[in-house]
Amino acid sequence: MPLLVMKFGGTSVADLARIKNAAKKVQREVERGYDVIVIVSAMSGETNRLVGYVEGTSKLYDAREYDAVVASGENVTAGLMALRLQEMGIPARSWQGWQVPIQTTAQHGSARFVDIPRANIDAKFAEGFKVAVVAGFQGLSPEGRITTLGRGGSDTTAVAFAAAFGAERCDIYTDVDGVYTTDPRVSSKARKLDKIAFEEMLELASLGAKVLQTRSVELAMRYKVRLRVLSSFEDTDETSGTLVCDEEEIMESKVVSGVAFSREEAKITLFTIEDRPGVASAIFGPLADAGVNVDMIVQNISEKDYDDAHPGAVTDMTFSCPINQVDRAKKAMEDAKAAGKIKYDELIIDTDVAKVSVVGIGMRSHTGVAARMFEALSKENVNIKVISTSEIKISVLIDRKYMELAVQALHDVFELDKA
């Protein structure tokens, strides 16, 4: 029997009416002849409520007990979904993470998958059950404790199950009807994509697109799991949504597939650091130890012996990080300076920046993308502070007030509104 994985996010199961609506979508796939594994999130807002309970009880909470509390939201949804399917005459049962058992590492709050044994669920399908409803976002540590995977972990759970069970496809039901060339709330010309390559989706997700969780796309790309992003609130068929797939499935790619952006960025510059082997390690090692996610990095050309107070070669180092990690980054640099690991004259923080990126696998075989991008921004008088590139991406850091203008300009210059 062919197998399908269907994942429903928090807004898709926000109340009993929406759970009923999601169950009808599952019923349709069962009637098409599929066995179905349904992965569910907690009801919308429920995880935040549970986190609030934990933080209200203990500021320095035990991460193991935190996981035990916040994982309960998905358990409730899984049980309610199974009950609804049973009411519709569909043989279904719910599974909590430990019942599968979903085996993970012991990093509570950010666990990673180790294994998903098939035996228990396969046995139930063999008995005639048609649907296994699995609580997303959770697993079991080697010590037998409940673990959680971090925000967006239900997407990752769905992809992991699709890989483990060799599913024909993994359908992600959410509050949007697919992946767009950019956020429609920023550009009215944004166009829904029929297909997008794994690599493009991974870049877009990591650069600020909120449709899919980055780890889920990484997993899908590694195991070649075909993903489809669909709306929970619209009637859908085999052609609906956006298919995230291998590059070979896409007939002809545009040079640029999408424009991503992130408002929550900060730029940090260390002035007059020593220009010597090991200084970069002395800067970015402490930042890594502090849990700072460094993104864009720029080092200036060295200045040689420019005054008596600064003998030898010196330079400046600029990097970006999420705005909510600025305090950690600042403390890490100040502690490293106090410990004598690095020297710098001044640390300047700019929290009024945004990152805008163009992404496309077509960039591998086409020249001039950077020139067109920079010319479009220049025409709008948008100054670029930092630039970083990869094989299929160009990102720039700009003043936040120009972010929407930049997104619209780039969407227009690469004609992303046209199929």
- Report the relative pairing of strands 113-115 and 103-104 from DSSP bridges: antiparallel
Is the same domain home to 164 and 278?
no
Annotated binding residue at 38?
Answer: no
Residue 254 pLDDT more than 90?
Answer: no
* Cα–Cα dist 293/65, whole Å: 26
3-state class (DSSP) for residue 260? strand
pLDDT computed for residue 95 by the predictor: 98
Annotated binding residue at 53?
Answer: no
pLDDT computed for residue 172 by the predictor: 95
Domain limits for position 407: 260-413
* Cα–Cα dist 383/398, whole Å: 6
Annotated binding residue at 180?
Answer: yes
Specify if 104 maps to a domain. yes
Is the same domain home to 155 and 293?
no
Annotated binding residue at 343?
Answer: no
Give the confidence band of 247 by pLDDT, cuts at 50, 70, 90. confident
pLDDT computed for residue 313 by the predictor: 80
Contact indicator for 275, 313 with CB cutoff of 8 Å: yes
Annotated binding residue at 7?
Answer: yes
Contact indicator for 385, 398 with CB cutoff of 8 Å: yes
- Provide the CATH number for the domain around residue 91: 3.40.1160.10
Is the same domain home to 398 and 267?
yes
| Domain end residue (candidates: 175, 198, 223) | 175
Annotated binding residue at 8?
Answer: yes
Annotated binding residue at 351?
Answer: no
Give the confidence band of 261 by pLDDT, cuts at 50, 70, 90. very high
- Provide the CATH number for the domain around residue 348: 3.30.2130.10
Q: Which of 72-81, 82-91, 236-245, 294-303 has the lowest mean pLDDT?
A: 294-303
Annotated binding residue at 318?
Answer: no
Task: For residue range 369-379, list pLDDT tens digits in order.
Answer: 999 999 999 99
pLDDT computed for residue 366 by the predictor: 86
Contact indicator for 128, 91 with CB cutoff of 8 Å: yes
Annotated binding residue at 174?
Answer: yes
3-state class (DSSP) for residue 24? helix
Nearest to 258 by CA among 160, 166, 118, 359: 359
| Domain end residue (candidates: 127, 150, 175) | 175
Is the same domain home to 151 and 275?
no
- Could you give the number of structural domains in the chain? 2
Annotated binding residue at 401?
Answer: no
Task: For residue range 181-194, list pLDDT tens digits in order.
Answer: 999 888 889 999 99
Task: For residue range 33-61, list pLDDT tens digits in order.
Answer: 999 999 999 999 999 999 999 999 988 89
Annotated binding residue at 47?
Answer: yes
* 117 against 305, higher pLDDT: 117
* Cα–Cα dist 308/88, whole Å: 82
* Cα–Cα dist 321/332, whole Å: 13
3-state class (DSSP) for residue 248? helix
* 3 against 264, higher pLDDT: 3
Specify if 287 maps to a domain. yes
Look up the pTM and report it: 0.84
Strand partners, 229: 172, 242
DSSP-assigned states of every residue in 141-186: -TTS-EEE--TTHHHHHHHHHHHHHT-SEEEEEESSSS-BSS-TTT
Contact indicator for 238, 171 with CB cutoff of 8 Å: no
Task: For residue range 338-349, list pLDDT tens digits in order.
Answer: 999 999 999 999
Annotated binding residue at 175?
Answer: yes
Residue 176 pLDDT more than 90?
Answer: no
Specify if 202 maps to a domain. no
pLDDT computed for residue 307 by the predictor: 53
